[in-house]
Structure 1
């Protein structure tokens, strides 16, 4: 289908790149005159404009002439033709003023689904836009409607008109963040028409005031069951009671990023046509989690209240699949691959089956023999673990969760494995591509003995696990003693495959690869095992895809974890934590997570066996930085660290108490006897075990709550072997409109990229403060863009705001590690802890990762660097979402050096991108 272009008079023509070439040629001639180099330069620039315009444009959607001209400006500026671009901007401004005196365009008609042309109903458009703006300060329905009028043309389709309304509001977001809520509500209007039409089987439109969830919800349930998508059990609920509990006003809580994410990837659909509205979505999840409760309606309503208020959010697999006919609700799966072909290829099959329904994978590959090891069956030599990892990588790519999320896996290898040096190179873009895994994450599983050797500048010996098999299951002092015995055996010539290296040199290479490729991550074997409540029944051989899960695995057990996160921003006031609200939320959340285990659809028997036997859950948190802002606590300060400590202590206390209460109601998990819980050893107590193994540990052990009473309660029984883990919350935090997990503020203004598109993100807390001080204006927007969302270089911003809203790269990593250490003392699993370094070098990396080890962290996650961020010098505005290709962007603001919001450009460097969509696998 040919791409069309909407002209300013509303007429439509065929896209013609030749017209772009003519316009660019005229611009150069006006500034530089004729020259020999003009033709090839213009040709290259035109090709760039055409490629950028058509890259994300669906054939059935029209471009607008203004959008094309904006892209011309962007390319001219990006390629350094600043004078030409400036002349082009001034020419457009001149033409825009001339058009102001031209007659109004003629009346337009809208093409309905059956092809009928009907007059465009501006009255309804005004009602819908007015409703979207209701209750929001500093937004204007007239401004949105003015943008819409610029975009319509005669014969515009109903869908295109709906999109034009959404994107008209989105264009204004960077000047007023609340337009993001307007855009979300306008997208909701489009969703209402789509869903109600599908449910009722005829064209239906309804404003928010006109929508009746009571009438819609039973029909939605019936349709979902008829389509074999919803569990028929949902129809057996008292739907009148359920409908009475639905809160339609909560549809207005979403911002554009949250609503677009749900629309693209979460709401149920029939061959692309959505039939699920937001509150039906939350109620469907809640009902699915209460199927086995005695009073199902009461529990469903309780769970719904938690979800729809954004106090707590389940992980993405739970949101995708709860209440459906395939309720795979678990987030993470950990496996161990044994040293034989049958186990290896069974591992690939397990990965595929687990990933199919949205699971994130952590694979322990340490048992697989290394390169040069003897193969008895063929009397040959092994090629090592790397060729098998290549197949695992390709399996993750092939099984992409139905297009909802990319398949995602992480391979773990212990530092003593003889293939560790090749393992470090897996993510490099050079070398033999058959020995590279460009799409799979990797992580080092580092024993304490190695880091002791690093600090002593001693040697380190690499082995093949077929000759040293027990090292895989040993940790702490027992590992160190056995490892030294193997080194002595190697010196006597009793070990066939071994290699001695300088520990510091291997450590440096690990850190170099981490900086250059973002992998392998650094995770610590000993604290994960020494502090594991389940050390009596198995060994933790790896973490998961996002490094927050630390559960034991075996050949017949695939560890499973079920995640959800408390929205900490909803549980604080300027005076501190709302402790009663935290207690209520955590108690209900733990019950919801425990229900996942029994309702879950298991794709492999090893996962079912493990999950029912140990019943681990992972309660985490998100919105930590928002909570700091509410309390006016400066990130990177002792006060912020103290808040990290007390907030996690409170969550931990109530999570353990809730699990103990569930044990009294439902019974303890099968392997409770002999666990640290059974011995009365809580996470705060297990710090002493790690300190004893290491002969000292730099970890705070202070507390504020009555842990003695809880310790006795826990000793009597626990429902869950593990209760807490802080996941990245990359997607569910977007749904709730808060900062990810425990992450510091990335930027005060930037463009976020994910599978739903690109979205302008502004720090609403900062803008509220700037407005209160009379500092929010177009100049401030331009400054924030120019300085990559940082306040530090902007002179007129007061110092207290610069400190409060310091970005991640302006906060020392030492503070992040200290806050992580304070949380880790309360958590029975781990946390996805990213580290930020503005100007990385070897000395800094060495210092922060050693500090993380000394501070008792179990794992670290991505290393972030400012090298992945750049600012495009352009006037382009309105780059949000997949819908950005269907409407023109706003008129450019003529400033001396106009700029767009900082946009992540992963090709600029090899370290991890802050907005990498691949990081969404846990939540």
Structure 2
């Protein structure tokens, strides 16, 4: 039976499911606009009543079903009301359609597919019936008035509204101004407030995104009108507003006032006033405001734009110029470089990391993304490390802490003649500190704790994220990661014994790796056998490995990262040891008691540097050259909250140039992600970025000088990242990895030896979860999550549709209402939709439809070019112990330095709304057959994607 026939059959077989007649909630002051234009109070109880009718209409009314429905409806109602009111001031007015959209979203998210499917179809049928009964929506009544913010009533200016909508759809062929206006009129009522009037067309356009992705651009352009009114009024006083066309004239004047306003409010660095502001104002490109999609612009509005007591006064192009000026402060020709940096940022060819965007050009320019620390084994040092965490997190830094030196449970404390309680109680303190410091309300503090696999507390460390057990020994908010030596993986392979030690008795293991670690470790094993070591325990290596994978599967932690490749291939092995990675596992820099590693991040938008013919190398070289200069400038301009960070950053000058838009680039090239051609592209694209980044750092060294600790580094010996593979190969006695190359590396190698490098490290691929939203491209190196889904983050809920897929389906005459319904029903996957051709199913396969080995093989090809690491998420459907074991062993065998989140799905859909862990978040049951220890984990989960409360990848 065809997909369309199945839908028609289901719609006719099920009893009609009436869409809720929602007059929603007990939230004081909220109102609802009915379809006849009347406005009534918000009554949330009616949501529950309508949902109950909907469920019983599909599932029946047996006693058991009724009990289950009651629990489900209660949870869904709370979710819907929260979704409606989470970002609303008291007094918001909702249209009934907006509430029904939330109902549909909640049903789909909860996995109630049969109810949602019947609900969607019935809702569309009712809309068609109303359209037949009322041939055309009547124009808004001339008697409609707007209530201004000062309480006055003025006539509704429909002419201006039509102008705004016409501007919003300009250049968007499949966007209908009439459709937006028709939907907007349904949200209008007499006495509507200014803020509600500004929001009405935005919401109207948003409802149409799932049918045509370009409505995401129209929604953003309509949002701009509200933002312009707010910013212009803040800068110039009185009630100011301007259309996009008028801003072509007004942007320069506004920019001058903006800088003055920001400095007066003590938000902008007064040094910005010393720029030739007139020259910069002329360089602004107002038309680039039109390049945003709604999610990107809303994210900037909510979290990035400067404001005074909640009133934003920063517009997009001023924002990009402010960041550019902040990064050009110490350039000789500051204006020229600021314009060059602005061009790169505002074009979306490259985007700086979130802390840089937050703070560049401000009075506290903390621009760095990542900080890595080593925690010493004494009380003063431990609590200094916790204090350092707070100071570093205060201005949006993400933290990675190496806790391995702290002595383990049962170790002797000489000063008190007592026994240590181990590392776990201190991790609890660090966890609570991260929550207390919320980075100025912009995002929660986030930290990752690392522990080596030989530490005596490793088994308790594995349990830190469990929802059961003694809560005093749990860290529900802290990320954790295993720092795994090669010797452990070798013991796992040979089913050997693994010995756990307390670091106060084996302190040198912390700084050793490769053959030296193996020799020292085996020496301590011999000592323990002779009774010369007091605190130790022996376990079967395979049992510990299985437990590591079980906890990773159940709780999403600890992540698996590999100590030896991080150190053996580190350019800075002469200057110290890499003891951990960072919050997102892409940074691999040395740490010690007197050096806190710092990394400064930014990402090339690969989608902007690829055409159907391949990589645009000329454009990529220009982008990387400018981007590397911007990142190097961060080091000198940066506001350092602790001296150890400043000392380390100035001595080594590391930066981390990464990429995003990888999946978009594959779509452009028509390459399925699960293919050898995609692996080859991953190889060649990273080779190009690596080549240009190293060349750019070499050029900066010629201009500005080498970084101070250059001598003795791998760079100084002519050993580039592609060459350091041989070192890992030698240490392991073999490494199965393709080592082909296409560019002139010998000439570059000779230039690096002769000229030097400006930066000790130059590449790292970060998750880019938020900056990719700003640019409107896929995250980092991620595969497509789904082709149509609802995305949630701190800026709200957003419908996301794969525009490339829609383009291809339109070209083949397959994009229609039935296809939209099918995509919703099948969670954004094409696999089960019969009428979609096989080539499109392969090209648009989603993350859980491909074998994770494809992602690992592509990452291995990239890793050979990268001097640091990459945030590699792994996706697995229907996971079991054998799959997880094979997946992580393959990652190690291919020489990967780190892995990041494990994303897993269950074998069947479950009613997620009734499954909650102790943290109150919605979780799915994940089934893990042997050899994983737990076969069913009722309260377990892998990391949820785009959890609005999770800031690890933002």
TM-score, length of structure 2 as denominator length: 0.90
Partner of 1:207: 243
Query: Which shifted more, 226-235 or 743-752?
Result: 743-752
Query: Which shifted more, 16-25 or 574-583?
Result: 16-25
Partner of 1:360: 398
Query: 1:333 aligns to what SS in structure 2?
Result: strand
Q: Map 1:415-454; keep pairs closer than 5 Å.
A: 415-454=453-492
Query: 2:245 aligns to what SS in structure 1?
Result: coil
**Match for 1:799 among 817, 838, 844?**
838
CA displacement 1:592-630 (0-9 Å, x = unmatched): 000000000001111001000100000000111111111
1:387 aligns with 2:430: no
CA displacement 1:540-572 (0-9 Å, x = unmatched): 000000000000000011000000000011001
Query: 1:191 aligns to what SS in structure 2?
Result: helix
**Match for 1:545 among 558, 583, 592?**
583
Partner of 1:634: 672
State the shift of 1:200 in Å.
0.4
In structure 2, the CA distance between the partners of 1:871 and 1:271, relative to structure 1 (3 Å rule), is farther
Partner of 1:139: 175
State the shift of 1:5 in Å.
2.6
Contact 1:362 1:543 in 2 (8 A): yes
CA displacement 1:14-73 (0-9 Å, x = unmatched): 223565677679889999999999998998787556534432413221233344556677
Q: What is the rounded CA distance, in whole Å, between the counterparts of 1:261 and 1:203 in structure 2?
A: 25
Query: Which shifted more, 417-426 or 859-868?
Result: 859-868
Task: Give the root-mean-square deviation of aligned CA atoms.
Answer: 2.7
Q: What is the rounded CA distance, in whole Å, between the counterparts of 1:26 and 1:723 in structure 2?
A: 59
**Match for 1:505 among 543, 557, 564?**
543
Contact 1:408 1:918 in 2 (8 A): no
Q: What is the rounded CA distance, in whole Å, between the counterparts of 1:409 and 1:402 in structure 2?
A: 16
Partner of 2:930: none
State the shift of 1:460 in Å.
0.2
Query: 2:268 aligns to what SS in structure 1?
Result: coil
Contact 2:375 2:382 in 1 (8 A): yes
Partner of 2:946: 915
Q: Map 1:451-850; keep pairs closer than 5 Å.
A: 451-716=489-754, 717-850=756-889
Query: Which shifted more, 457-466 or 4-13?
Result: 4-13
Query: 1:303 aligns to what SS in structure 2?
Result: helix
CA displacement 1:675-726 (0-9 Å, x = unmatched): 1111111111111111111111112211111111111111131110000000
CA displacement 1:191-215 (0-9 Å, x = unmatched): 0111001000110110000112111
State the shift of 1:774 in Å.
1.2
Q: What is the rounded CA distance, in whole Å, between the counterparts of 2:773 and 2:907 in structure 1?
A: 21
Query: Which shifted more, 595-604 or 625-634?
Result: 625-634
Partner of 1:901: none
Contact 1:74 1:873 in 2 (8 A): no
Q: What is the rounded CA distance, in whole Å, between the counterparts of 2:823 and 2:122 in structure 1?
A: 24
Q: What is the rounded CA distance, in whole Å, between the counterparts of 2:658 and 2:107 in structure 1?
A: 46
Query: Which shifted more, 366-375 or 695-704?
Result: 695-704
State the shift of 1:265 in Å.
0.5
In structure 2, the CA distance between the partners of 1:354 and 1:34, relative to structure 1 (3 Å rule), is closer
Q: Map 1:151-550; keep pairs closer than 5 Å.
A: 151-211=187-247, 212-550=250-588
Contact 2:409 2:423 in 1 (8 A): yes
Q: What is the rounded CA distance, in whole Å, between the counterparts of 2:795 and 2:328 in structure 1?
A: 30
In structure 2, the CA distance between the partners of 1:38 and 1:553, relative to structure 1 (3 Å rule), is closer
State the shift of 1:256 in Å.
0.8
Structure 1: runs of 5 or more not aligned: 875-903
Structure 2: runs of 5 or more not aligned: 1-27, 914-920, 927-940
Contact 1:317 1:331 in 2 (8 A): yes
Contact 2:59 2:65 in 1 (8 A): no
Partner of 1:7: 34
Q: What is the rounded CA distance, in whole Å, between the counterparts of 2:96 and 2:67 in structure 1?
A: 24
Higher relative contact order (CA 8 A, sep 6+): 1
Partner of 2:6: none
CA displacement 1:720-768 (0-9 Å, x = unmatched): 0000000001111111111111111111111111111111111111111
The count of residues paired between Structure 1 and Structure 2 equals 894
In structure 2, the CA distance between the partners of 1:38 and 1:68, relative to structure 1 (3 Å rule), is farther
Contact 1:359 1:922 in 2 (8 A): no
Contact 1:194 1:275 in 2 (8 A): yes
Contact 1:9 1:153 in 2 (8 A): no
CA displacement 1:238-272 (0-9 Å, x = unmatched): 11111111111111111011111111101111111
CA displacement 1:157-183 (0-9 Å, x = unmatched): 111111111010000000000000000
Query: 1:837 aligns to what SS in structure 2?
Result: strand
CA displacement 1:355-386 (0-9 Å, x = unmatched): 11110000000000100111111111111101
In structure 2, the CA distance between the partners of 1:486 and 1:152, relative to structure 1 (3 Å rule), is same
State the shift of 1:389 in Å.
0.5
Contact 2:276 2:335 in 1 (8 A): yes
